[in-house]
Amino acid sequence: MDLIILAIGTEIIKGRIQDTNSGYIAGRLYSAGFTVREIRCIGDDETLIKKTISDCFSMVEVIIATGGLGPTRDDMTKSAACAFFNSRLILDLELSRKLEKLFRRMDYSSVPELSRSQALVPEGARILPNPRGTASGLLLEKYGKLLFLLPGVPVEMKGLFEEEVLPILCERFGREKLYTAIVRTIGIGESVLAEKIEKGLSEREKTFLSYYPHGGMVDVVVSQPLSGEKAKKPEILKVADHAASQVRDHVYARDEKNLFQVLAEILSTRKLKLALAESCSGGLLSKTITDLDGSSAYFEAGVVSYSNKAKTVFLEVPDKLIAGHGAVSNPVALAMAEGVRKKTGADLSLAITGIAGPSGGSEEKPVGTVIIALSSETGTKAQRFSFGGDREQIRQRSTVKAAEILWRHLTRENR
């Protein structure tokens, strides 16, 4: 059974808001063994919503729609759904009472008129309770077609999807999971990676491979292709093992863990503490490391030493060193890494200094020049890189490269 995900919101097709809901739903459905045929985004236009629901139901049995359930006049998903299902909006008294209580608790001086509309539901629809907000999820069902309506606010959508939609789908359409293997690589480009991996594979085996480059890394996913004869688990595993063995020095994970989760595990297990000194990356590395719950176990501190003075005050980088070599130089990167390690007493430290641009470059040190240093009790080393791309990409690549350097240091004996 195929599904279509439908994101509704004029803000999305005007490019003002990024639709992250559809990707989330798609990933969760895929893991649960369902196939998403399409993701569509359309504006808050009642006629177009109705037409799209009708078009999609000519292809699939289930639509999961997000957005347009809010209290303002531009939210018209419910009325469009009513139009398709020949239903009408009625006031759900129980829901209305619940919402009144909620709004009073939220300290509104009066229950806002607009939010009353949140208790209007299509007649015959099943209400999917939303404990995180005021827009309930809804399930409309007729002619063998299922239409789920979820609010567009990501946290509310996620809660409803996990607690209501997915259980309903699994109960109705429960199916065997497709077996998938993953080989996550770093420090090697997509073309060269594919060339190395596909050497020695049959034509059929090659169709199992997909390459997903993201942020300077490439994931190799081995799975049943969208069409063709079904692949069995041993076949998939064999191809994944072959792929990993061909590029052994670049494989950081054989599961869904990202590089930072891999680092987190190693640091936690070995009880090592990490400290950071960032200049051009501006806190991005600290932010990425602390994105993970539990990072306080191994992350000591980060210093975003953007100005030269900050490098001196917090990291004890000598003024003279900066004056003599420039802030973007191997000696300064080394001093930053050593400074932050000494100050915090951490076992390991990374330092990043560079020119993220678009201004600040010179002939000798053009935009994209970045020095990364790693310090540990066995010594401190710095490497110079020249990254392409815009400011955001240079910051991103610096961060990933620093993580790669740390990963190579921590795993050098096992690879």
Instruction: Kindly state whether residue 304 participates in binding a second copy, applying the rule CB under 8 A.
Output: yes
Could you check whether the bond before residue 358 is cis, i.e. omega within 30 degrees of 0?
A: yes
Site of tokens 């490391």: 289
Neighbours of 272 (CB within 10 A): 15
Minimal distance, residue 333 CB to a second copy, in Å: 17
Question: CA–CA separation, 103 vs 19, rounded Å?
Answer: 28
Site residues for a second copy, 96-135, by CB under 8 A, read: 108, 112-115, 132, 134
Instruction: Kindly state whether residue 212 participates in binding a second copy, applying the rule CB under 8 A.
Output: yes
Minimal distance, residue 287 CB to a second copy, in Å: 4
Mark residues 32-61: x for contact with a second copy by CB under 8 A, - for none: ----xxxxxxxxxx-xx---x---------
Instruction: Kindly state whether residue 389 participates in binding a second copy, applying the rule CB under 8 A.
Output: yes
Q: At what angle do helices 330-344 and 308-315 cross, to 10 degrees?
A: 40
* Interface stretch with a second copy, choices 14-22, 238-246, 260-268, 330-338 (CB under 8 A): 14-22
Among 301, 318, 361, 380, binds a second copy (CB under 8 A): 301
Minimal distance, residue 10 CB to a second copy, in Å: 6
Among 166, 285, 317, 382, binds a second copy (CB under 8 A): 285
* Interface stretch with a second copy, choices 230-238, 245-253, 261-269, 341-349 (CB under 8 A): 341-349
Instruction: Kindly state whether residue 1 participates in binding a second copy, applying the rule CB under 8 A.
Output: no
Mark residues 139-168: x for contact with a second copy by CB under 8 A, - for none: --------------x-x-------------
Name beta bridge partners: 59.
none
Q: In 147-183, which positions are buried (b, 16+ CB within 10 angstroms) versus exposed (e)? A: bbbbbbbeebbbbbbeebbbeebeeeeeeeebbbbbb
Please answer whether residues 299 and 347 qualify as being in contact, where contact means their C-beta atoms are separated by less than 8 angstroms. Answer: no
Among 90, 168, 221, 410, binds a second copy (CB under 8 A): 221
Instruction: Kindly state whether residue 19 participates in binding a second copy, applying the rule CB under 8 A.
Output: yes
Instruction: Kindly state whether residue 335 participates in binding a second copy, applying the rule CB under 8 A.
Output: no
Site residues for a second copy, 172-201, by CB under 8 A, read: 190-192, 194-195
Site residues for a second copy, 235-274, by CB under 8 A, read: none
Minimal distance, residue 41 CB to a second copy, in Å: 4
Instruction: Kindly state whether residue 204 participates in binding a second copy, applying the rule CB under 8 A.
Output: no
Instruction: Kindly state whether residue 324 participates in binding a second copy, applying the rule CB under 8 A.
Output: no
Among 89, 98, 188, 314, binds a second copy (CB under 8 A): 314
Question: CA–CA separation, 61 vs 100, rounded Å?
Answer: 35
Among 249, 255, 291, 319, binds a second copy (CB under 8 A): 291
Please answer whether residues 7 and 21 qualify as being in contact, where contact means their C-beta atoms are separated by less than 8 angstroms. Answer: yes
Among 63, 147, 303, 332, binds a second copy (CB under 8 A): 303
